[in-house]
């Protein structure tokens, strides 16, 4: 078990939310997409429109890359706190513990936030790994390269199905040398002091509700559940963990580029009092100078753009000044004329 430093436990309680009002006979389920099947294109578009979230199998990411990264991550998080803190605080990259971002959000989580650029200098974090420090960098590079390839394939299938030209209209933003993508490894340690509260139906915030600002996020976790997505009626749906699959979510920037057709899904993580959860997420983002606006080729007839144009730099700056649960895109929405 990993000992994390203080803050009162009440700060980590999930606020009560709306009960599920869906017809219990039509329980929504997470779309499952087999990337090896030709019908996946159509299913991908539907999942991005209906949920902004889906699970993929036959993803092509080698199992050995996933296992190696998980074992390096577990090794890192098992180090004494004083050792891990040498890799922090995150500014924006590095080791973080309980504090998420710069604006007062807290969660029962510790994490490593890294630049996803392969040539990034991880020296500050590597010094923690006294033996063979270069192994960590190699393992992250292999994993990120494979996951980015899968993310690009998904984005190209989406563009194909929507008849967008060129088919790399989204994926080229991740492939660009200047792509501003981030990689994060989260560890939610068990919290035995919370067991009593759990009996009263309380939940412990691991990572508070939010949407991801980038284009696309690719998540893989161990077999401890905790991830929840927000449904249209405002209720929360728990996503059963599956360490063999990847979970994909639409980010704010893709919502804007599709003029709201695809939904940037609100999600959160509830921590577990008994089991630890380890997740790794690749956030595929565009270059800082990239203009983000609805694609003209997608706009039909008199369709108005729902968003003011912005560069990724502008959006990112504004996002990083916001709290997790803020509606970040709100500032960039055009007010419809009445
Ligand atoms: C509270 C915050 C943490 C975050 C930056 C922000 O100000 C608002 C967005 C947050 C988020 C969510 C998705 C990713 O985990 C993340 C790295 C990102 O790009 O936006 C985090 C930011 C963070 O942890 O610094
Ligand atoms: O750790 C997880 O499972 C999800 C975390 C998350 O949503 C994030 O880091 O943006
Ligand atoms: Fe997220």
Q: What are the mean pLDDT values of the chain's consecutive 10-residue runs (338 residues total)? A: 58 70 68 96 97 97 97 93 91 94 96 87 68 79 97 98 97 98 97 79 92 98 97 92 98 98 97 94 98 95 94 98 97 78
Annotated catalytic residue 277: yes
Interface confidence: ipTM more than 0.85: yes
- Which pLDDT belongs to residue 232? 87
Alpha carbon distance 147, 197 (integer Å): 37
Sign of CA dihedral 94, 99, 65, 247: negative
Structure tokens of 10? 């009440």
Mutate to test the pocket of ligand 2, among 99, 214, 227 (most ligand atoms within 8 A of CB): 227
Non-local (6+) Cβ contacts of 312 within 8 A are 180, 253, 285, 286, 287, 288, 289, 290, 292
Non-local (6+) Cβ contacts of 299 within 8 A are 259, 305
User: Ligand 1 atom 13: the closest Cα is on which residue?
Assistant: 212
- Which pLDDT belongs to residue 22? 59
Q: Which of 217, 323, 324, 218 is nearest to 268 (CA)?
A: 324
The answer, as to whether pTM is greater than 0.90, is: yes
- Dihedrals φ, ψ of 55, to 5°? -110, 140
Could you tell me which residues are beta bridge partners of residue 207? 269
Q: Which of 124, 160, 151 is nearest to 56 (CA)?
A: 151
Q: Which string of b and e fits 100-128 if b means at least 16 CB within 10 Å?
A: bbeeebbbbbbbbbbebbeeeebeebbeb
Active-site pick, 184, 220, 268, 277: 277
Mutate to test the pocket of ligand 2, among 269, 322, 325, 328 (most ligand atoms within 8 A of CB): 269
The answer to whether the CB of 320 is under 6 A from ligand 1 is yes
Structure tokens of 130? 């006294």
User: Ligand 2 atom 2: the closest Cα is on which residue?
Assistant: 279
Which atom number of ligand 2 is nearest to the Cα of residue 207? 5
The answer to whether the CB of 284 is under 6 A from ligand 1 is no
Number of Cβ atoms within 10 Å of the Cβ of 44: 24
Alpha carbon distance 86, 94 (integer Å): 9
- Would you list the DSSP string of 192-245? GGGHHHHHTT--EEEEEEE---SSEEEEEE-S---EEEE-TTS-EEE----TTS
- Which pLDDT belongs to residue 24? 58
**Residue whose tokens read 């192994």:** 135
């Amino acid at each position: 078990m990993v000992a994390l430093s203080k803050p009162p436990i009440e700060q980590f309680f999930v606020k009560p939310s709306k009960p599920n009002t869906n017809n219990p006979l039509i329980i929504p389920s997470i779309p499952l997409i087999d990337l090896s099947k030709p019908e996946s294109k159509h299913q991908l578009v539907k999942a991005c429109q209906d949920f902004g979230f889906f699970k993929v199998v036959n993803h092509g990411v080698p199992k050995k890359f996933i296992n190696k990264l998980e074992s390096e991550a577990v090794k890192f998080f098992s180090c004494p706190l004083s050792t891990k803190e040498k890799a922090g605080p995150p500014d924006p990259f590095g080791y973080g513990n309980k504090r998420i971002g710069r604006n007062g959000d807290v969660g029962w989580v510790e994490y490593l936030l890294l630049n996803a650029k392969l040539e990034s200098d991880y020296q500050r974090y590597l010094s923690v790994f006294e033996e063979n420090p270069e192994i960590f960098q190699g393992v992250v590079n292999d994993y990120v390269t494979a996951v980015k390839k899968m993310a690009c394939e998904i984005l190209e299938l989406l563009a194909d199905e929507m008849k967008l030209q060129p088919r790399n209209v989204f994926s080229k933003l991740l492939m660009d040398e200047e792509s501003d993508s981030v990689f994060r490894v989260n560890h939610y340690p068990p919290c035995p002091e919370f067991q009593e509260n759990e009996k009263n139906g309380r939940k412990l915030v691991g990572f508070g509700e939010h949407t991801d600002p980038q284009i696309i996020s690719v998540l893989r976790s161990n077999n401890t559940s905790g991830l929840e997505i927000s449904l249209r009626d405002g209720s929360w749906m728990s996503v059963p963990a599956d360490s063999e699959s990847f979970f994909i979510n639409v980010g704010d920037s893709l919502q804007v580029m599709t003029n709201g057709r695809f939904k940037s899904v609100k999600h959160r993580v509830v921590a577990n009092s008994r089991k630890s959860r380890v997740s790794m997420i690749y956030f595929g983002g565009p270059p800082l100078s990239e203009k983000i606006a609805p694609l003209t080729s997608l706009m039909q007839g008199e369709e108005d753009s729902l968003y003011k144009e912005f560069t990724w730099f502008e959006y990112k700056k504004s996002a990083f000044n916001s709290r997790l649960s803020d509606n970040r895109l709100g500032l960039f929405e055009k007010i419809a004329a009445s």
